[in-house]
Amino acid sequence: MTENPITDTIKHLRFPFSLFLLPVFLFALTIAENQNPQNVFLLFVILHFLIYPSSNGFNGLQDRDTESIGGLKNPPPPPKLLRPTTIVMDLLGLALSLLISLEVFLLITLYMLASRAYSHRGIRLKKYPVIGFLVVALFQGGAIFITTYITAYDASLIGLQYQPGAIMGAITATILIAAGYPITQIYQHKQDEADGVRTLSMRLGIRGTILWSMGLFALFSGLLTWMYYPNLYTIGLYFLLGAPTFLYFANWQRRIWKNPSSADFSSTMKMNYISTISMNTFFGLVLVLQHFYA
């Protein structure tokens, strides 16, 4: 029986998990010229305080996990309050997105539909390793990048064909999510298998997941370097702030090679937090430098 419906509902919304998706938002702002700060702030609130948490809550309703999930070590049973809360958050997010533009409204609607199709028991895209992976990478990466870009730049979707930086940025953001997402599943192979879910991480195995993420993150770093070139200070700042992530990941990889059980919840979340703090700090500093020292 739920001890506290309000507290347990908040737990399932997993607001801190939005930090893991913030780098894509900030990355888009460093590429787009911010002409609408009010709309950018509104989009930030919509995504990180309404849409993302609501998607987490809906996922909790569908999965009913009893073991650790991203950002929540001991998930309580989903309370009855959770379902109406996610509905209200979705409707509020969509209504607020109309204040930005119809295109942003449509993009956020597509994101929500993809998120629901990913988790819903009747569709359950997450049980397909490749399709589920692509849905997450494309929507949490490229789609959110484009949504943020057109909001900041006051651009249209049709006009993106004349913005090569936006297209390249969307591809780079997709690769960033593609590199990190399988890592978030590396400790829950048994739980996913019991639920009938076959994730890409399960197909790759623990070692394969590590190698996959290393390769794609190296590709992401190369693309990011290319996009910021010839600004060597920005490139140097990226590798400087990324050093803790690189070092922890290398050490974690060595531990996993010796003992696969090192791919546990605590180590995975530590890896996620270190990389997220590094990426958010980097993109945040780039924005500061662009707006105050350009």
Q: H or E segment at 154?
A: none
pLDDT per residue rounded down to tens, the chain (294 residues): 446 889 999 999 999 989 999 999 999 999 997 778 999 999 999 999 999 999 999 998 987 666 656 566 778 888 999 999 999 999 999 999 999 999 999 999 999 999 999 999 899 999 999 999 999 999 999 999 999 999 999 888 988 888 888 999 999 999 999 999 999 999 888 888 887 888 999 999 999 999 999 999 999 999 999 999 999 999 999 999 999 999 999 999 999 999 999 999 899 999 999 999 999 999 999 999 988 776
- Which among 15, 72, 17, 51 has a CA at the least distance from the CA of 191? 72
Q: Where are the domains of the chain?
A: 5-230
Length of the chain: 294
- Round to whole Å and give the CA distance between 282 and 288: 10
Q: How far is the C-alpha of 134 from the C-alpha of 175, rounded, in Å?
A: 10
Q: Measured between alpha carbons, how far is residue 268 from residues 52, 77, 140, 209 in Å?
A: 20, 23, 19, 12
Q: pTM of this prediction?
A: 0.94
Rounded Cα distance between 122 and 288, Å, is: 45
pLDDT of the residue at 162: 82
**What is the C-alpha to C-alpha distance for residues 164 and 191, in angstroms, rounded to an integer?**
42
According to the model, what pLDDT value does residue 193 have? 83
Fold category of 5-230 in CATH: Farnesyl Diphosphate Synthase (1.10.600)
